[in-house]
Amino acid sequence: MSKSKKVLLVTGGGRGIGAATCRLAARAGYRVAVNYASNEAAATALVEAIAQAGGEALAIKGDVGSEADVLSMFETIDRAFGPLDALANNAGVVDQRARVDEMSAARLERMMRINVIGSMLCAREAVKRMSTRHGGKGGAIVNISSIAARLGGPGEYVDYAASKGAIDSFTIGLAREVAGEGIRVNAISPGIIDTEIHASGGQPDRIERMRRVVPMQRAGTAEEIAAAALWLLSDEASYTTGANLEVGGGR
Ligand code: NAP
């Protein structure tokens, strides 16, 4: 087991964009911590597939919206892999299609807790480990936002769009805060990507409906987002921080 390999945590890494990021990262030589919320079968199958391909990965259950879970997840990574080098803040949820005047406080609280506070808590723990101010050796963070932040999601999920708007501001602020401490922080704003998130929000036909409004006339793949994430985390992006890379087929 090589101790020199870089360590990456991908939140929500068991399925969709997160899983593609884990697969690509393992191929690039990272030791990958695959966080998941409840779908243990998906995360475990992914870890096994990575191991079969000669990579190294570990599945870790935890709700990013729970501070206790986040603390325990980072401690597990410290013990298993050693100091973290990179974080992909990917875990995120949508909810059923609704107007703002129909949204309950419980829905809003869940949306912000997972999408916003979850990413901020994970970034906090990553900075504590990576910042030269805390004795770390630097690192990189990529936050998965959405082009919904600028489209607003009217009639569908304004709460989700607003949660991604918060991620955009957080990316700029944190990037500037830790730029002198060896940490780069960037965001990716995907357009419509073919994953199970649309069905989880009660819209299994969303890709088919929406692809016509995309200039490229198709949804993107999880792998197309993963490729952008891996670039932003790599040394090839060494002068890129506070950026928000749109990967949305021109939309
Ligand atoms: P997905 O296929 O629904 O997968 C979501 C992943 O997040 C799953 O692994 C899930 O874990 C995990 N997750 C959910 N809640 C969590 C929590 N509280 N704590 C930890 N993990 C949690 O979604 P996706 O499409 O890949 O989306 C990934 C990211 O891309 C999200 O931030 C999403 O907002 C963003 N995005 C997606 C699109 C798109 O069109 N797909 C577009 C723009 C932005 P389990 O497997 O255990 O359920």
Which pLDDT score is estimated for 1?
Answer: 44
CATH of 7-247, one of 3.40.50.720, 3.40.50.1980, 3.40.50.12240, 3.90.1150.10: 3.40.50.720
The residues that are catalytic are 160
Length of the chain: 251
Residue 39 Cα: closest atom of ligand 1: 47
**For residue 174, how far is its CA from the centre of ligand 1 (angstroms)?**
22
Residue 192 Cα: closest atom of ligand 1: 40
Dihedral class, residue 12 (left if φ above 0, else alpha if ψ from -120 to 50, else beta): left
Residue 91 carries which DSSP code? -
**For residue 195, how far is its CA from the centre of ligand 1 (angstroms)?**
9
* Beta carbon of 195 within 6 Å of any ligand 1 atom: yes
DSSP states along 94-139 = ------GGG--HHHHHHHHIIIIIHHHHHHHHHHHHH-GGGT---E
The answer to whether 30 touches 110, Cβ cutoff 8 Å, is no
Q: Compute and round to an integer the Cα radius of gyration of the chain.
A: 17
Among 7, 2, 4, 27, which Cα is nearest to 81's?
A: 7
Residue 193 Cα: closest atom of ligand 1: 40
CB contact set of 165 (below 8 Å; sequence gap of 6+): 149
Beta-carbon-side half-sphere exposure of residue 43 (alpha carbons within 13 Å): 21
The letter for the amino acid at 114 is I
Q: Tell me which of 9, 17, 74, 96 to substitute to probe ligand 1's pocket, judged by most ligand atoms within 8 Å of the beta carbon.
A: 17
* Beta carbon of 37 within 6 Å of any ligand 1 atom: yes
Averaged pLDDT in 10-residue chunks for the chain of 251 residues: 80 98 98 98 98 98 98 98 98 98 98 98 99 98 98 98 99 99 99 97 95 96 98 98 98 96
Which pLDDT score is estimated for 46?
Answer: 98
Among 104, 146, 103, 141, which Cα is nearest to 121's?
A: 141
Q: What does the alpha-carbon distance between residue 25 and residue 212 come to, in Å, rounded to a whole number? A: 31
pTM of the model: 0.98
**For residue 15, how far is its CA from the centre of ligand 1 (angstroms)?**
7
Nearest 5°: CA angle at 34, between 126 and 18?
A: 90
Order of strands, edge to edge, in the sheet holding 139-144?
56-61, 31-36, 7-10, 86-89, 139-144, 183-190, 244-247
| Residue extents of the structural domains in the chain | 7-247
**For residue 134, how far is its CA from the centre of ligand 1 (angstroms)?**
30
Which pLDDT score is estimated for 2?
Answer: 46
CB contact set of 6 (below 8 Å; sequence gap of 6+): 29, 30, 31, 85, 86
Question: Could you tell me where the beta strands, DSSP code E, fall in 6-105?
Answer: 7-10, 31-36, 56-61, 86-89
Q: How far is CA 21 from CA 4, 214, 227, 246, in A?
A: 20, 23, 7, 16
Which pLDDT score is estimated for 249?
Answer: 98
Q: Tell me which of 23, 76, 93, 225 to substitute to probe ligand 1's pocket, judged by most ligand atoms within 8 Å of the beta carbon.
A: 93
